[in-house]
């Protein structure tokens, strides 16, 4: 019989697998094209964060510098954990597990483990900082206290525990505001203990406030009916899935803009549309079929109603197509290759083919679509570089 921790681990793995399905091929193609420039940017980011963390235990670091470092760590860690909230914290099933004989210690342990996994690439600068530290023992203690307090703040906020979150945030400010002195280490330890106690209180019975579901307004009801319930599905059932897809597209656009600014060679022929279009095509082509299958699986008794099927079909295809067009429209003004129309046309055709293949349930589309986008990305990028 699977344990509670094993169930949470399976949910974490399966959720991430469904979110990133097909996008891994796009990332491989992008890395193959960008090569050394992308590697240099990643190393610079990790090195910068490692140098910032090393300031926390340096006696010459001022109070405001410490506050800025802690604020940067807290902001990045919260964004990562918020993006992985559905996979790491399983919020939708909280009411169900609260009715089961699962102890508070098991819930606390499972949330903490998966949240630490959610910190993902932040462990790279931590490891770098520890490897290059002059006093590894002291640095390890400071970083452990920072991770514990920030984790308590993030978990309390994401669980909706207002008072524990405020108390843990106060402990984080106390940790960051401590300057050099004899009492700095005891105060930091006290801050970590306060944050842990506040978070633990939220896991005890009565630690979370009862939240009442707000009724939707008249406009929201009309919008839900006119979209065949696709909009409520995307905003509630599939919001994390959609957020990851849109986040990958936005991250690709941001990476392209950063590369244009930092590259030392001529950037007059830099292409942005080709990369954004590749990730957008891979991230959105399966969304219409996913919406349709999810709706019909949950509301199969409405499938025979002609009005429902018509509205659902239109919204399920129109929304992903609109998102695809918006992504290309945002990327086009930054494109300097002169081939934006050609690149957009190629990936638009691939996007349409992927939508059709996913709708028809063709199994080969799962590998053919990523492979075609990867080949098209490499070829089009090489053609731009040869001009």
**Pseudo-torsion of CA 273, 274, 276, 278, nearest 10°?**
150
Q: H helices of the chain, where?
A: 4-19, 23-34, 36-54, 63-83, 85-89, 94-98, 104-118, 123-132, 136-158, 162-177, 184-203, 218-226, 230-232, 239-262, 273-284, 287-298, 306-331, 340-360, 365-386
List per-residue pLDDT tens for the chain, 387 residues long. 578 888 888 888 888 877 776 566 666 666 665 666 667 667 777 888 888 888 887 777 788 888 899 999 999 899 889 888 888 888 877 777 777 788 889 999 999 999 999 888 889 999 988 888 888 888 899 999 999 999 999 999 998 888 999 999 999 999 988 766 667 888 889 999 999 999 999 888 776 665 555 555 566 667 666 666 677 767 766 777 778 788 888 888 887 887 777 664 554 456 788 889 988 998 889 888 888 777 777 666 666 666 666 777 778 888 889 999 999 999 999 887 788 899 999 999 999 999 999 888 888 888 888 888 888 888 887 776 555
CA contacts within 13 A on the Cβ side of 89: 21
- Cα separation, 134 vs 127, in Å, equals 14
Tell me, what's the pLDDT at 262?
66
How many other CB atoms sit within 10 Å of the CB of residue 136? 12
d(CA 58, CA 306): 69
First to last CA, the chain: 61
Q: What is the pTM of this model?
A: 0.75
Alpha-carbon distance of 362 to 355, in angstroms, equals: 11
Instruction: Using CB atoms within 10 Å of the CB of residue 353, give its burial: 0 to 12 exposed, 13 to 18 middle, 19+ buried.
Output: middle
Give me the residue spans of the domains in the chain. Answer: 35-203, 218-386
Give the pLDDT of residue 46.
Answer: 82
């Amino acid at each position: 019989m699977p344990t509670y921790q094993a169930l949470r681990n399976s949910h974490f793995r399966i959720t991430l697998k469904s979110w990133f399905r097909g996008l891994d091929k796009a990332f491989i193609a992008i890395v193959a094209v960008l090569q050394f420039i992308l590697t240099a940017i990643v190393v610079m980011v990790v090195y910068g964060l490692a140098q910032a963390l090393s300031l926390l235990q340096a006696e010459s670091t001022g109070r405001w510098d410490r506050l800025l470092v802690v604020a940067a760590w807290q902001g990045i860690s919260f964004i990562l954990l918020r993006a992985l909230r559905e996979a790491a914290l399983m919020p939708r099933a909280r009411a169900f597990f609260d009715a089961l004989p699962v102890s508070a210690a098991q819930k606390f342990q499972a949330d903490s483990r998966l949240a630490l996994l959610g910190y993902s690439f932040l462990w790279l600068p931590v490891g770098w900082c520890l490897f290059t530290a002059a006093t590894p023992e002291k640095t390890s203690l400071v970083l452990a206290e920072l991770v514990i307090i920030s984790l308590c703040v993030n978990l309390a906020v994401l669980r909706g525990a207002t008072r524990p979150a405020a108390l843990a945030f106060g402990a984080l400010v106390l940790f960051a505001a401590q300057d050099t002195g004899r009492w700095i280490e005891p105060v930091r330890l006290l801050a970590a203990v306060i944050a842990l106690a506040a978070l633990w209180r939220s896991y005890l019975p009565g630690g979370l406030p009862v939240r009442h579901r707000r009724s939707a307004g008249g406009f929201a009801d009309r919008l839900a009916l006119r979209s065949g319930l696709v909009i409520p599905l995307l905003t509630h059932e599939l919001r994390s899935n959609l957020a990851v897809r849109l986040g990958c597209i936005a991250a690709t656009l941001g990476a392209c803009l950063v590369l244009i600014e930092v590259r030392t060679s001529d950037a007059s022929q830099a292409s942005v549309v080709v990369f954004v279009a590749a990730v957008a095509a891979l991230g959105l082509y399966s969304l219409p079929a996913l919406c349709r299958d999810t709706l019909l699986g949950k509301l199969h008794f409405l499938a025979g109603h002609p009005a429902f099927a018509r509205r659902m079909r239109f919204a399920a295809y129109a929304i992903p197509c609109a998102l695809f067009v918006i992504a290309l429209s945002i990327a086009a003004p930054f494109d300097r290759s002169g081939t934006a129309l050609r690149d957009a046309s190629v990936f638009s055709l691939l996007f349409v083919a992927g939508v059709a293949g996913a709708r028809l349930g063709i199994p080969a589309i799962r590998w053919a679509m990523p492979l075609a986008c990867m080949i098209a990305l490499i070829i089009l990028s090489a053609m731009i570089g040869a001009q």
